[in-house]
Chain A
Amino acid sequence: MSFDPNAFLIITTGSMIAISCGLLGVFLMLRKMAMTGDAISHAVLPGIVIAFLVSGSRHGLTMVIGAGLVGIIATVFIEYLSNKAKLQSDASIGITFTSLFAIGIIMITFLANEIDLDQDCVLYGEIAYVPIDLWITGTGKIMGPRVTYLSLINMVLVIGFVTVFFKELKISTFDKEFAATIGLSTVGVNYALMGMVSYTTVSSFEAVGAILVVALMVVPPATAYLWTKNLYKLIRLTVILGVVISFLGYYLAYFLNSSIAGAMATVAGFFFFTTVILQHKQIPRIKKKLAKAKPSIK
């Protein structure tokens, strides 16, 4: 197989997105907030549309701010419903994200003629466009693929966030009471994390779509968690898995001629289910069953 610059670009971009998502996903999973991540990725939609209306472009800071704000509002809302209205938490998550997503879809439909934003791109995204979607400066100089830059910035920010606040994230994830006792703002850490999740969702949704962000956010950490309990190893494994998934995902999509993001989720799913089956606890159980089954065959 010869070197294909487009494939390289797509795989690199995919890997960077997978790394950013996975790093945040590790903490989401450990905080039992996997579904909150899912909710945020749906809920940022109205933020994206409003930011699009304000700025008139699909790129740039407005989009990030708009989506980040709505993402945090969604988190606040979920907490509010479960604390103040005493609604069980899964129901408050479900209600919040479905209503925000519905609002977003309706806004898009209403503005369909005015804006270049359609429902499908929100859901699936298209990472295959990365090589042709170029960043061209005012002077006409071509700087390279835009989404790659975006995901690079995102990855740097996420890695920076996780490194700088590693201690805070770790303590507030594993021992909330202790964190509060030593004067750590657990609420602040929570919202910072949710803000990063929203930002990552937005910056990746063009490439992989809203729902597949969740696949990259939850599935690699979940798979890695089945192999290790050590936080550092968990993070390392998640990152490696992310890169492998985007590599294999690209080639799966290449051979099937299908959506790359979808193929990445499929590969992630393959790893996930294989791990579950191979899990050490599982193998003796199967062996036992086989051993039991044998005499009866005779």
Chain B
Amino acid sequence: MEEFIYFFSFQDPNVLMVVTGIVLLSISTAMVGTFTFLDKKALVGDAISHAVLPGVCLAFMLSGSKNPYWIVSGAFVTGALSTYAITWVSNYTKLKEDTVIASVLSIFFGVGIVMMTQLQQTGNASLSGLDHFIFGNAISIVGQDLWVYGFLALAIIIVILLFYKEFQLMVFNRSFAESIGLPVKRLEFLFNSLMVLAVVTGIQAIGVVLMAALLITPAAAAKFWTNRLSIMLLIAVIFSVISGIVGAYISFVLPHMPTGPWVVIVLSLIAFLSFFFSTKKGILTKWIAKRNYQRKIHRDHILKALFAANEKGKEGLATPDVHANFPGKSFRTQSAINKLEKNNYITESQSVISLTQQGLKEAGRIVRLHRLWELYMTEYMNIAPDHVHDSAEKLEHIITPELEKQLDKNLNFPQEDPHQSIIPRDQDKS
């Protein structure tokens, strides 16, 4: 707890610096990542992050120190080279883009490792901490590095905000952007540079292997909450910032822990929660909606069966007969019956189920929709009466009252359906 207060009160200027740095980094990568995600280029980020390794090593070789200017420039050069190689190879060969990405990624990383093993043999003491570039450790960044990375992240954020409209057009409607005279090629170049820069600023804090997650995951999670780009950007930024701070805090409390993996874990957790519980597109939300719909269908069918019995002049149906209508679904049928009884649609006495007044009205409504639709199909679509049942079986559950009125009006308030069954009318209304 003490550490918690110490960390979050920011009394230590180093902590404050690191947190500021990681917040800026999270914002810039989340923003760039949202556009790459929408542009379906998520894995290019992965390739870039692996491809910066030879650049970092090259910078070490040339400068002999961990000077951030050199490292950023070196990483930028090979990162940019990898994006260029990916575009070039996928344009000029028959190879699929994912094969090209995987090839470029592993080749650049292999070259990086060769250079790294070379460097390690020189025994230069200033090279210690080189492995931070692989797994990332935000706490290890201090002083000058932080200014450079922070400044770059800020620059990325500003450029994206300035070119927000242009990038939006480029991602969503490329041909339109071209037709109104936007320099799409140059914009793309600018955007690719931003993407490489975003990866470069993150490598020391997050590490090359996991940097891809910072680009992909916030955007993917945000996509589940909104369809609007501006809101999606905001949500992605918030998710990313939260994970960045939590990751930095954990590696502060447990000093031997690398920051990158923890940031990624928190991010993934947020993403998976979004996938399951988001109110719009979450897996759980969709599942519940689907289950409710299936229950409604089942309920409707039971009511219809009872209505049919009623039309034949029977008082009700025996419970086993209702169950027999839906073979293999007795559990579901029973729960539907219980629910209908609770809602006062049916009554059950001595194993005979009969409709109440209210139930008769509801069942009549469903049958009316079914028969109206059948009539509509035969009258307006010229479909033979014996082919309209299946369609009506689906539509009877989803026709809204407004649509019902429209149908009724267009068909001139019919009395009978194509099979000469009487269309039940709601007595209260007429």
Contact = CB atoms under 8 A, between A and B. Distances in A.
B37 interface: yes
A218 B101 CA distance: 10
B98 A35 contact: yes
Nearest to A120: B131
B209 interface: yes
B265 A218 contact: no
Contact of B112 (A84, A109, A262): A262
A112 B257 CA distance: 10
B93 A226 contact: yes
Q: Which among B209, B265, B281 has the greatest number of chain A C-beta atoms within 10 A?
A: B209
Contacts of B102: 34-35, 37-38, 214, 217-218
B46 interface: yes
Interface string B131-160: 100110000000000000000000000000
B316 interface: no
B17 interface: no
B113 A212 contact: yes
Interface in B84-123: 85, 88-89, 92-96, 98-103, 105-118, 121
B222 to A, nearest CB: 11
Contacts of B37: 88, 91
A87 interface: yes
A135 interface: no
Contacts of A262: 110-114, 116-117
B113 A261 contact: yes
Interface in A1-56: 29, 32-35, 37-38, 42
A102 interface: yes
Contact of A265 (B107, B260, B271): B107
Nearest to A109: B257
A81 B107 contact: no
Interface residues of B, number: 63
A35 B210 contact: no
Interface stretch (A65-73, A177-185, A274-282): A274-282
Contacts of A93: 43
B50 interface: yes
B109 A279 contact: no
Contacts of A258: 113-115, 117-118, 121
A35 B256 contact: no
A221 B106 CA distance: 13
B217 interface: yes
B216 interface: yes
B42 interface: yes
B281 A86 contact: yes
B275 interface: yes
B56 to A, nearest CB: 14
A87 B220 contact: yes
Contact of A269 (B92, B110, B281): B110
Given A94-B42, A98-B212, A214 B95 contact: no
A85 interface: yes
Interface in B361-409: none
A98 B264 contact: yes
Q: Which among B95, B103, B210, B220 has the greatest number of chain A C-beta atoms within 10 A?
A: B103
Q: Which among B88, B89, B98, B223 has the greatest number of chain A C-beta atoms within 10 A?
A: B98
B106 A265 contact: yes
Q: Which among A42, A209, A262 has the greatest number of chain B C-beta atoms within 10 A?
A: A262
B258 interface: yes
A42 B114 contact: no
Contact of A106 (B40, B94, B261): B261
Q: Which among A87, A102, A103, A272 has the greatest number of chain B C-beta atoms within 10 A?
A: A102
A41 B362 CA distance: 58
A119 B257 CA distance: 12
Contacts of A127: none
A123 B110 contact: no
A99 interface: yes
Contact of B100 (A91, A105, A119, A222): A222
A259 B114 contact: yes
Contact of B107 (A34, A112, A269): A269
Given A95-B216, A219-B107, A266 B114 contact: yes
A276 B220 CA distance: 33
A205 interface: no
B274 to A, nearest CB: 9
Nearest to B266: A102
B92 A281 contact: yes
Given A257-B118, A268-B107, 17 more contacts: A34-B98, A38-B46, A88-B40, A95-B213, A95-B217, A98-B212, A99-B265, A101-B210, A102-B262, A102-B264, A219-B103, A258-B118, A259-B116, A262-B113, A263-B110, A269-B107, A273-B107
Interface of A: 29, 32-35, 37-38, 42, 81, 84-88, 90-95, 98-99, 101-103, 105-106, 109, 112, 119-120, 123-124, 209, 211-212, 214-215, 217-219, 221-222, 225-226, 253, 256-259, 261-266, 268-269, 272-273, 276, 279, 281-282
9 contacts: A32-B99, A38-B102, A90-B98, A95-B213, A211-B110, A215-B110, A218-B99, A262-B111, A262-B112
Q: Which 7 A-B pairs have CB atoms at the shortest separation, nearest pair first?
A: A265-B110, A269-B107, A262-B113, A215-B106, A98-B213, A99-B268, A102-B261
